[in-house]
């Protein structure tokens, strides 16, 4: 499937969508082969957008060689090896299933789909494709923050013992202004859900990734504080610009839930886009029988560790600056103490995906991982609607 150009094995990438996530993914595809030794060299081959003019402008700005305006033509092209899906959730399933059937590797942004049924279809397509050597990954990028990857390693090594409590928050304030326009992210038919799916999905995935455990039961509440907003003008982005007409907000502004894990651990989760003053605060704390770990993305190069086996005279949380060469991903970058940023996690995602494809090993998180998150999202919505505890269906 991969092509050989001037002796190098090249992975020809096509990206569908080119807004916020498209820019982040483009930066990663450009950067990964320049800092990491990869078995395949990604080639930014085709960018696809519905408006040919805007797509061409984005391709010129972001570094893509060619442009298409119909994703179906992209999937059919024999010179494309991998399809990177950066579109709203309502199109993920159709594009991903078609691309996998055509023998293309797939990277799909989170959440995997807008419904459990779509996610199940995608996961089944990915399992069938994997039997043919075709790989699929869902883009839960925060797994690739070095401090988070280090936390996972410490948990797996038993440094905090048996995990008993997970405490997770994702706090933003970008729509706290009631006059912020009605973008697609506030429309259920496009986004699937609001704060729950957009940012809550990340902390659900992080909790299951860090603990190596799965959420089995939830009890939730959800709220929409601003029921109606000015309509966004055409081509508006995350915030966009507003018109004088107004439309209904059909998703949640905030979601909160309690959870039980398969191991018996308990958790509390909060996702909101109304936390004034919080721009992108992902906070997660694990309390175990031998200690605790704490992380806040607004100080993303730091992991806090408490060793409960130390003497009470000296015990307490200590600050680990996760910039040493021995820390996950860090050796490819700067000298110790020189911090990484938001964009680096996307680069690490490309690195792990390309290595998985070259080695014939499913890169994580898989579509099955995405399906597990989707089932939790659905259970949270049902719980909030019915005011009951909801069990998560097992695989």
Q: Report pLDDT for 188.
A: 87
Checking DSSP bridges between strand 302-307 and strand 291-296, what pairing results, if any?
Answer: antiparallel
Q: Are 170 and 138 in contact (CB under 8 A)?
A: no
Q: What is the pLDDT of residues 31-67, one digit of tens each?
A: 999 999 999 999 999 999 999 999 999 999 999 999 9
Phi-psi group of 117: left, alpha or beta (phi > 0 → left; psi -120 to 50 → alpha; rest → beta): alpha
Cα dihedral 114, 119, 125, 129 sign: positive
CATH of 3-142 given 3.40.50.720, 3.40.50.1220, 3.40.50.800, 3.40.50.300? 3.40.50.720
Phi-psi group of 115: left, alpha or beta (phi > 0 → left; psi -120 to 50 → alpha; rest → beta): beta
Q: What is the pLDDT of residues 232-270, one digit of tens each?
A: 775 444 555 556 789 999 999 999 999 999 999 999 999
Domain spanning 146-365+372-386: CATH superfamily: Dihydrodipicolinate Reductase; domain 2 (3.30.360.10)
Q: Report pLDDT for 235.
A: 46
3-class SS of residue 80: coil
Cα–Cα distance list, 137 to 122, 143, 194, 208, 287 (Å): 11, 13, 23, 16, 29
> What is the distance between the alpha carbons of residues 214 and 210, in angstroms, rounded to a whole number?
10
Q: Report pLDDT for 192.
A: 84
Q: Report pLDDT for 2.
A: 56
Residue spans of the domains in the chain: they are: 3-142, 146-365+372-386
CA–chain centroid gap for 122, Å, is 16
Q: Are 343 and 356 in contact (CB under 8 A)?
A: no
Tokens matching residue 387: 């005011």
Q: Are 281 and 298 in contact (CB under 8 A)?
A: yes
Phi, psi of 218 (to 5 degrees): -140, 155
Q: Which residue has the tokens 């939730």?
A: 220
3-class SS of residue 387: coil
Same fold yes or no, 3-142 and 146-365+372-386: no
Q: Quick one: 305 exposed, middle or buried, by C-beta within 10 A (0-12, 13-18, 19+)?
A: middle
Q: Which residue has the tokens 């998703």?
A: 251
CA–chain centroid gap for 306, Å, is 28
> What is the distance between the alpha carbons of residues 208 and 230, in angstroms, rounded to a whole number?
37
Checking DSSP bridges between strand 302-307 and strand 318-321, what pairing results, if any?
Answer: antiparallel
Checking DSSP bridges between strand 242-248 and strand 228-232, what pairing results, if any?
Answer: antiparallel
Q: Report pLDDT for 184.
A: 86
Report residues of the chain scoring pLDDT below 70: 1-8, 234-243
């Amino acid at each position: 499937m991969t092509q050989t150009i001037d002796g190098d094995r090249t992975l020809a990438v096509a990206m569908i969508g080119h807004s916020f996530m498209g820019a982040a993914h483009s930066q990663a595809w450009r950067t990964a082969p320049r800092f990491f030794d990869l078995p395949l060299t990604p080639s930014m081959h085709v960018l696809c957008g519905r408006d040919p003019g805007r797509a061409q402008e984005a391709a010129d700005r972001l570094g893509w060689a060619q442009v298409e305006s119909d994703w179906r033509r992209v999937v059919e092209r024999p010179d494309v090896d991998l399809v990177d899906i950066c579109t709203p959730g309502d199109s993920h399933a159709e594009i991903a299933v078609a691309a996998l059937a055509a023998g293309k590797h797939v990277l799909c942004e989170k959440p995997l789909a807008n419904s459990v049924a779509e996610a199940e279809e995608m996961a089944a397509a990915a399992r069938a494709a994997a039997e043919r050597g075709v790989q699929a990954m869902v883009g839960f990028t925060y797994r690739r923050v070095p401090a988070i990857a280090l936390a996972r390693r410490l948990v797996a090594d038993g440094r905090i013992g048996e995990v008993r409590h997970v405490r997770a928050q994702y706090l933003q304030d970008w729509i706290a202004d009631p006059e912020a326009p009605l973008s697609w992210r506030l429309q259920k038919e496009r986004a699937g859900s609001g704060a729950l799916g957009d940012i809550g999905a990340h902390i659900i995935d992080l909790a299951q990734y860090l603990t190596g455990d799965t959420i089995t039961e939830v009890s939730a509440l959800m709220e929409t504080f601003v029921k109606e907003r000015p309509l966004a003008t055409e081509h508006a982005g995350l915030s966009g610009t507003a018109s004088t007409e107004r439309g209904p907000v059909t998703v949640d502004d905030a979601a909160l839930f309690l959870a039980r894990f398969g191991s018996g651990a308990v958790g509390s989760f909060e996702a909101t886009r109304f936390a004034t003053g919080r721009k992108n605060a992902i906070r997660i704390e694990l309390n175990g029988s031998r200690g605790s770990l704490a992380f806040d993305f607004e100080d993303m190069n730091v992991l806090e560790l408490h060793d409960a086996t130390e003497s009470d005279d000296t015990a307490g949380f200590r600050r680990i600056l996760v910039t040493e060469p021995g820390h996950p991903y860090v050796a490819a970058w700067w000298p110790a103490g020189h911090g990484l940023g938001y964009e680096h996690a996307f680069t690490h995602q490309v690195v792990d995906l390309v290595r998985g494809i070259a080695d014939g090993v499913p890169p994580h998180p898989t579509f099955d991982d995405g399906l597990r998150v989707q089932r939790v999202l659905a259970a949270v919505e049902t719980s909030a609607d019915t005011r009951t505890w909801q069990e998560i269906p097992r695989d």
